[in-house]
């Protein structure tokens, strides 16, 4: 570090030694660990990580989706092994210790058409279930049993790298639990969603859709309905509860069909601009569909639109 130049006639300020780094003679020189630290990710809603945890461990709590927690986690480990094509065997009579076969880590090498996945290292792990005495909380701990580099068998893992391997494997398992849980939540939500949207008439005798939800609840849910079903919100007026919409028939593209995406649901509407006006009604809220000029759509079209919207509302898990 460059020394501070002091003008003639002035003395050099005293240097505090409090933060000096002491010299260490003959200290070994080693490569620094430049990789970011791994963290256990509590992705599932019923999972948590304790503060100052030193092990690769996560805690699961019993919830309405798990039922009895121990059988749920035991089954999830087997599902995880099947999904990831990993050999996992139970190692004890209580079903608390599971040992994996070799888990391979690969990296992409090459360029453009010549890219390929090359196996770099392999590890074996234990997944250990650690129930609390009351049975409502169970810890899952990942422990590295064995590791080998395939390109250089003389290389050894550092303690930091060992912890990273354990956390990486545990996070893969947690992600599987969270995926299963999310599917259960969506299924239950779709089953419990109360879709009571009907058709009727407003005070002027125009055809409308009617919901028992109040006007603010209805307003807040509609945008979620628009997003995936061909509508674009071009403008809105919160004071008059009016959405200005542009509708385009959604299409299933080449890539969607290639990956097996569901066929997009279409509505009995021409591709054009529309207005959706919400008004308070004695039954809750009236939804008035209008063209771009504000003219109310016919009763026949409103009825057809209502039938087409019902499965979309249920799929989105909305309460209208």
Q: Are residues 207 and 178 part of one domain?
A: no
Average pLDDT of the residues of the chain: 86
Q: Are residues 90 and 170 part of one domain?
A: yes
The answer to the question of residue 298 being in a domain is: yes
Q: Are residues 209 and 127 part of one domain?
A: no
Name residue, tokens 């890219």. 115
> Looking at residue 312, which CATH number applies to its domain?
3.30.310.170
Q: Which residues pair with 205 in a beta bridge?
A: none
Q: Are residues 203 and 186 part of one domain?
A: no
* The domain boundary residue, chosen from 137, 169, 190: 190
Q: Are residues 234 and 109 part of one domain?
A: no
Q: Report how far residue 234's alpha carbon sits from residue 200's, in angstroms, rounded to the nearest whole number.
A: 27
Structure tokens at 285: 């809220």
Q: Report how far residue 9's alpha carbon sits from residue 29's, in angstroms, rounded to the nearest whole number.
A: 43
Q: Report how far residue 107's alpha carbon sits from residue 117's, in angstroms, rounded to the nearest whole number.
A: 5
Structure tokens at 85: 């094509």
**CA pseudo-torsion sign 171, 159, 32, 119:** negative
Give the DSSP letter of residue 92. Answer: S
The answer to the question of residue 164 being in a domain is: yes
Range of the domain at 59: 47-190
Reported as a single tens digit per residue, the pLDDT across 59-88 is 999 987 888 999 999 999 999 999 999 999
Q: Are residues 157 and 212 part of one domain?
A: no
> Looking at residue 82, which CATH number applies to its domain?
3.30.530.50
Residue 208 scores a pLDDT above 80: yes
The answer to the question of residue 99 being in a domain is: yes
The answer to the question of residue 36 being in a domain is: no
Query: Average of pLDDT values for 93-103?
Result: 96
pLDDT at 220: 85
Reported as a single tens digit per residue, the pLDDT across 131-176 is 999 889 999 999 999 999 988 878 888 888 999 999 999 999 999 9
Q: Are residues 90 and 129 part of one domain?
A: yes
* The domain boundary residue, chosen from 156, 190, 224: 190
Q: Are residues 221 and 114 part of one domain?
A: no
Q: Are residues 222 and 128 part of one domain?
A: no
Q: Are residues 237 and 110 part of one domain?
A: no
The answer to the question of residue 7 being in a domain is: no
How many structural domains are present in the chain? 2
Measured N-to-C along each axis, helices 215-227 and 299-316 cross at an angle, to the nearest 10 degrees, of 80
When pLDDT is cut at 50, 70 and 90, the band that residue 258 belongs to is: very low
Residue 293 scores a pLDDT above 90: yes
Q: Report how far residue 100's alpha carbon sits from residue 90's, in angstroms, rounded to the nearest whole number.
A: 9
Let me know: does 211 contact 320? Beta carbons within 8 Å.
yes
* The domain boundary residue, chosen from 164, 190, 216: 190
Q: Give the pTM.
A: 0.53
Q: Are residues 220 and 138 part of one domain?
A: no
Reported as a single tens digit per residue, the pLDDT across 111-127 is 888 888 888 899 999 99
Query: Average of pLDDT values for 21-28?
Result: 63
Q: Report how far residue 152's alpha carbon sits from residue 103's, in angstroms, rounded to the nearest whole number.
A: 17
Q: Are residues 248 and 160 part of one domain?
A: no
Residue 295 scores a pLDDT above 90: yes
The answer to the question of residue 235 being in a domain is: yes
Query: Average of pLDDT values for 19-34?
Result: 60
Those residues with Cβ within 8 angstroms of residue 161's Cβ, 6 or more apart along the chain or in another chain: 33
């Amino acid at each position: 570090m460059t020394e501070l130049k002091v003008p003639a006639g002035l003395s050099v300020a005293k240097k505090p030694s409090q933060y000096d780094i002491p010299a260490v003679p003959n200290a070994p020189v080693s490569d620094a660990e430049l990789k970011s630290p791994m963290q256990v990710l509590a992705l599932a809603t019923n999972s948590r990580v304790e503060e100052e945890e030193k092990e690769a461990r996560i805690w699961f709590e019993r919830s309405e989706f798990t039922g009895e927690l121990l059988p749920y986690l035991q089954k999830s480990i087997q599902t995880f092994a099947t999904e990831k094509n990993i050999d996992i065997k139970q190692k004890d009579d209580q079903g608390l210790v599971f040992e994996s076969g070799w888990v391979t880590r690969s990296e992409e090498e090459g360029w453009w058409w010549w890219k390929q996945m090359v196996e770099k290292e392999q590890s074996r792990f234990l997944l250990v279930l650690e129930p609390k005495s009351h049975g409502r909380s169970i810890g899952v701990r990942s422990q590295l049993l064995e590791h080998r580099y395939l390109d250089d068998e003389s290389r050894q893992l550092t303690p930091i790298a060992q912890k990273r391997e354990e956390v990486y494997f545990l996070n893969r398992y947690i992600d599987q639990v969270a995926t299963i849980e999310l599917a259960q939540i969506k299924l239950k939500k779709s089953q419990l969603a109360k879709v009571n949207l009907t058709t009727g008439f407003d005070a002027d005798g125009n055809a409308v859709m009617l919901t028992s939800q109040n006007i603010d609840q209805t307003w807040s849910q509609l945008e979620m309905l628009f997003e995936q079903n061909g509508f674009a919100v071009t403008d809105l007026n919160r004071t008059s509860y009016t959405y200005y919409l542009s509708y385009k028939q959604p299409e299933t593209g080449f890539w969607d069909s290639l990956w097996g995406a569901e066929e997009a649901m279409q509505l009995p509407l021409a591709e054009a601009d529309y207005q959706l006006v919400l008004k308070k009604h004695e039954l809750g809220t009236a939804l008035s569909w209008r063209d771009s000029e504000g003219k109310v759509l016919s009763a026949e079209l409103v009825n057809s639109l209502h039938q087409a919207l019902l499965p979309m509302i249920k799929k989105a898990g909305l309460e209208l």
